[in-house]
């Protein structure tokens, strides 16, 4: 029996009963491929009905002589390696009569769905009339059609019979075929939808994997577009950044956001980026504004560029980062895809994942930026500098690492507040960035506090020094604060270069730091490059500090005393206590051998200061008990004096010795930087409240001396030995020392000349008007026992011979002028009050109503001036005229107080003319 290939399986006829005559009564129906199929030679085509995609059920009646004679019913059966039902993607039941249709004595039987035998017709009914039946295994799906006919009809030749039932069977078969094709189309569409959903799920999974691997955002956008085109099957995909209004310079409309397209993939292979940075309009504008999505007809435009004009074939999604739309996804594809609700949901989920990636990337970038940049200035930090420095060295290039110290930043923080200091530092950071913006590879970083670094790869030493100088000049410009105050700062620079000075990243940075410290020692604005000997200095300082730390506990420190002589009486005014360090090998180290290194460690310097205060007060107490009334001056380091704990340290030293505080003097080294002056002022005021006086040492060197004289409450000034040692070299040096002496006398300060080593120096200082001397010419620093013996044996007579000073006329003339001007200021206020201007005579001239009945100038005339010039006729005339002016002033003040008018005008005229003559 022949086989008919249908859907990959063979369909054959199989008889039910024994074979008999082969007259066929069969129906011609449309086959699986839409055309009529013949089964046996001239026999009519078999009845073929498809119940599902890829399956065929065939039913035909094979006539015999009579039903009892074995009329045969041929049914379709799938043959081959496996049944077609087992290969279906969907669950479809097999036909129940696959192998069990049969005639019996009482009718036609088939096997039911659960294995039961079901009688279809009785034998009598089957032989009397033709009937059509339909067996349904799945609701709504025709599985097979069959017919039954009388024996007479079966014997007739099929081409001579008009068979209405057969025509009806054909119609029903065709209806079933149409229904099955509709179902097949639905199944095909569903399978396509499932396939697209599967591909979209796969693309979504791949996108999530890309997000987990944290590529950069634009790489993620490009990969997403490729996945949508290659895996999901969209026609084209595009993603672009939304740039806020006014984010770029030169935009035509600062109020319109713009889209910068960064990823574009199409099915035809086009993957070039689209239009860059275009203002949005239409649908894109709405999506950008709301952050939602757009589906359906209508073209998507961006400044004249239409992405898709076909209705229903495009969709736009807003990718949100936080509260705003950060990017836009546009896709163009099959309407069935973009109109399906479930597939839209998958697209929206992908957009949410992309938004999460943007937020995560932004968060990660913020963390990375915070880890590598300074929070205040936004400059790179030391960690970032170390990485860049290592990379530059590994690249085999040369370069320079410059380091800048911002002078005066501590004072700004202390006087104007840290907010002002932060403003200054931010302004300097912006200038530093601008200075290196055009230099390839240059990196500006902030170190600790007021230190800034500048990495200059690819530069030789000379070029790097020139660049550092230009940066210094840029940083020197005035800085305007928000409160309209203008400040000036100075930058001191030090640097090192590689590969010449390379010893690793940390080593090069340390060498730049050494160069900076050497530059700071030269003064603000200096620039110094690293030299190898600087490391030896540092190593020595570390060794000294390491050895000094246990010296206090071992009692190796002691005080030596050097006398201070008064030229007025020749007596010893006091002594200066100088620390000495007796090291275990027996040698004695002077302060210059260890104090500069100790000053770099505030903790050690404070311990040294406490030791000196305690020892000095103990010596004052012991000498007082022994009948030696001398003052003792001690040196206190700047960092200790600026330490808030200084007052407590002084109280601890004074405990039980408060009565001897008036004999203690604290010397402030003027060459040392005090940091915050107001802290030092508070410390000195606290000391003065305890009876302790302050001395400004090394006057005239290093930092602004006149500024210190104005700010600090000092009682004595010491002329530095650098001036006294050159005193005999010429008139220029004499004039400088004379100016210092004059300044101190006009300020009413005591004065000591240091470093006197010869009689000539002592004599010249005496003639210049310096009242006290200290130096090797008088005595060297001595241990306590030797100093006490020297004090007892001192004879003041040789030094008490006061001779005429060559500078006395000059000094007296300056002092006279200053005092006369003070009197004139008071008199001028009194004259204004006499003319009717509001003024208090007592307030204008305090000496008129106080205990002192003489003006400042009058007191000098009757005091020091009278003792020196009493025999001079010109001096006596000056004194008489000044006394007359005082009497006139008193008369005028009394008239003003009493409201008298008579004589007031004459007194005003006499007082005015008299002071004009006096001046």
Q: What is the pLDDT of residues 10-59, one digit of tens each?
A: 233 333 333 333 333 333 333 344 343 333 333 333 433 333 333 333 33
Catalytic residue among 754, 788, 913, 916: 754
Asked if 540 and 548 count as a contact pair (C-beta separation under 8 A), the reply is no
DSSP sequence for 701-767: SSS-HHHHHHHS--SEEEE-HHHHTTGGG-HHHHHHHHHHHHHHHHTT-EEEE----SHHHHHHHHH
pLDDT for 910 beyond 60: yes
pLDDT for 729 beyond 60: yes
Residue of 226, 224, 221, 257 lying closest to 240 (CA atoms)? 221
What ranges make up the beta strands (E) of 377-513?
399-407, 443-446, 451-457, 479-480, 486-487, 490-498
Q: What values do phi and psi take at 268, rounded to 5?
A: -80, 5
Answer with the residue of higher pLDDT: 426 or 314: 426
Q: What is the pLDDT of residue 623?
A: 92
What is the Cα–Cα distance from 126 to 71, expressed in whole angstroms? 11
Q: What is the mean pLDDT of residues 154-179?
A: 49
CA torsion 562-565-571-572 (nearest 10°) is: -20
What letters, b where the CB count within 10 A reaches 16 and e where it falls short, cover 175-186? Answer: ebbeebeebeee
Average pLDDT, the chain: 69
The answer to whether the predicted template modeling score (pTM) of the entire model surpasses 0.75 is no
SS3 of residue 380 by DSSP: strand
pLDDT for 450 beyond 60: yes
- Known catalytic membership, residue 754: yes
Q: What is the pLDDT of residue 136?
A: 35
pLDDT for 365 beyond 90: no
Residue of 841, 862, 863, 860 lying closest to 850 (CA atoms)? 841
Q: What is the mean pLDDT of residues 593-611?
A: 84
User: For the segment 627-669, what is each residue's pLDDT rounded down to a tens digit?
Assistant: 888 999 999 888 888 888 888 888 898 888 888 888 999 988 6
Answer with the residue of higher pLDDT: 339 or 477: 477
SS3 of residue 370 by DSSP: helix
């Amino acid at each position: 029996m022949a086989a008919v290939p249908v859907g990959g399986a063979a369909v054959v006829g199989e008889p039910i009963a024994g074979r008999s005559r082969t007259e066929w009564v069969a129906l011609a129906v449309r086959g699986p491929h839409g055309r009529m199929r013949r089964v046996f030679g001239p026999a009519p085509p078999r009845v073929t009905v498809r119940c599902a995609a890829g399956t065929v059920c065939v039913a035909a009646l094979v006539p015999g002589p009579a039903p009892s004679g074995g009329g045969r019913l041929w049914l379709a059966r799938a043959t081959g390696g496996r049944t077609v039902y087992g290969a279906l993607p969907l669950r479809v039941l097999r036909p129940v009569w696959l192998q069990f249709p049969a005639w019996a004595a009482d009718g036609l039987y088939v096997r039911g769905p659960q294995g039961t035998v079901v009688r279809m017709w009785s034998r009598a009914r089957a032989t009397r009339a033709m009937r059509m039946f339909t067996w349904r295994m799945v609701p709504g799906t025709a599985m097979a059609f069959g017919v039954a006919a009388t024996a007479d009809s079966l014997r007739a030749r099929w081409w001579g019979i008009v068979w209405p039932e057969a025509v009806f069977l054909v119609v029903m078969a065709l209806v079933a075929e149409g229904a099955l094709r509709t179902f097949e189309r639905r199944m095909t569409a569903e399978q396509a939808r499932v396939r697209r959903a599967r591909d979209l799920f796969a693309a979504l999974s791949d996108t999530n994997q890309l997000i987990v691997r944290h590529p950069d955002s634009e790489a993620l956008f490009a990969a997403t577009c490729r996945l949508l085109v290659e895996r999901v099957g969209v026609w084209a995909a595009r993603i672009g950044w939304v740039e806020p209004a006014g984010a770029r310079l030169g935009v035509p409309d600062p109020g319109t956001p713009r889209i910068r397209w960064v990823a574009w993939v199409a099915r035809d292979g086009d993957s070039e980026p689209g239009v860059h940075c275009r203002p949005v309009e239409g649908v894109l504008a709405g999506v950008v504004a709301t952050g939602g999505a757009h589906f359906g007809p209508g073209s998507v435009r961006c400044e004249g560029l239409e992405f898709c004009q076909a209705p229903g074939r495009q969709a736009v999604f807003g990718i949100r980062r936080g509260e705003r739309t950060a990017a836009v996804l546009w896709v163009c594809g099959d309407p069935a895809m973009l109109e399906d609700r479930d597939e839209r949901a998958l697209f929206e989920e992908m957009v949410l994942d992309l938004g999460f990636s943007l937020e995560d990337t932004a968060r990660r970038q913020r963390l990375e930026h915070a880890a590598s940049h300074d929070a205040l200035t936004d400059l790179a930090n030391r960690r970032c500098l170390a990485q860049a420095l290592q990379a530059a060295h590994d690249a085999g290039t040369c370069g320079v690492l410059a380091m800048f110290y911002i002078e005066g930043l501590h004072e700004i923080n202390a006087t104007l507040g840290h907010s002002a200091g932060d403003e200054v530092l931010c302004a300097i950071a912006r200038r530093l960035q601008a200075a290196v913006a055009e230099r390839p590879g240059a990196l500006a970083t902030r170190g600790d506090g007021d230190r800034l670094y500048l990495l200059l790869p690819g530069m030789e030493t000379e070029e790097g020094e020139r660049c550092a100088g230009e940066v210094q000049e840029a940083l020197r410009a005035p800085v305007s604060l928000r409160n309209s105050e203008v400040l000036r700062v100075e930058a001191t620079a030090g640097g090192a270069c590689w590969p010449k000075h390379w010893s690793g990243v940390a080593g090069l940075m340390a060498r730049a730091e050494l160069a900076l410290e050497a530059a700071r020692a030269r003064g603000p604005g200096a620039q110094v490059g690293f030299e190898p000997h600087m490391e030896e200095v540092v190593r020595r300082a570390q060794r000294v500090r390491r050895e000094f730390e246990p010296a206090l506990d071992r009692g190796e420190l002691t005080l030596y005393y050097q006398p201070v002589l008064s030229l007025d009486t020749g007596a010893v005014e006091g002594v200066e206590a100088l620390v000495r360090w007796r090291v275990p090998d027996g040698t004695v180290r002077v302060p210059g051998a260890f104090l500069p290194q100790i000053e770099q460690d505030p903790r050690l310097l404070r311990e040294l200061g406490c030791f000196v205060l305690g020892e000095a007060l103990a010596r004052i107490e012991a000498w007082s008990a022994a009948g030696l009334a001398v003052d003792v001056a001690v040196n206190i380091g700047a960092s200790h004096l600026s330490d808030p704990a200084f007052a407590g340290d002084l109280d601890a030293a004074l405990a039980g010795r408060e009565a001897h505080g008036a004999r203690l003097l604290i010397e402030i080294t003027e060459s040392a930087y005090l940091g915050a002056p107001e802290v030092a002022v508070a410390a000195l005021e606290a000391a003065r409240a305890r009876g302790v006086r302050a001395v400004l040492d090394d006057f005239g060197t290093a930092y602004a001396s006149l500024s210190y004289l104005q700010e600090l409450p000092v009682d004595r000034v010491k002329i530095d030995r650098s001036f006294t040692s050159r005193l005999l070299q010429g008139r220029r040096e004499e004039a400088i020392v004379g100016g210092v002496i004059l300044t101190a006398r006009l300020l009413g300060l005591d004065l000591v000349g240091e470093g006197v080593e010869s009689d000539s120096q002592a004599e010249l200082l005496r003639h210049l008007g310096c009242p006290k001397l200290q130096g090797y010419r008088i005595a060297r620093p001595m241990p306590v026992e030797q100093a006490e013996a020297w004090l007892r044996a001192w004879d003041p007579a040789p030094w008490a011979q006061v001779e005429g000073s060559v500078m006395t006329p000059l000094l007296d003339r300056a002092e006279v002028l200053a005092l006369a001007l003070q009197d004139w200021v008071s008199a001028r206020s009194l004259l204004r009050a006499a003319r009717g201007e509001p003024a208090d005579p007592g307030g204008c001239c305090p000496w008129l109503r106080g205990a002192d009945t003489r003006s400042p100038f009058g007191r000098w005339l009757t005091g020091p001036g009278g003792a020196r010039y009493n025999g001079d006729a010109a001096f006596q005339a000056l004194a008489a005229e000044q006394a007359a002016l005082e009497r006139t002033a008193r008369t005028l003040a009394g008239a003003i107080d009493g409201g008298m008018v008579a004589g007031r005008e004459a007194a005003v005229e006499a007082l005015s003319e008299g002071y004009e003559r006096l001046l």
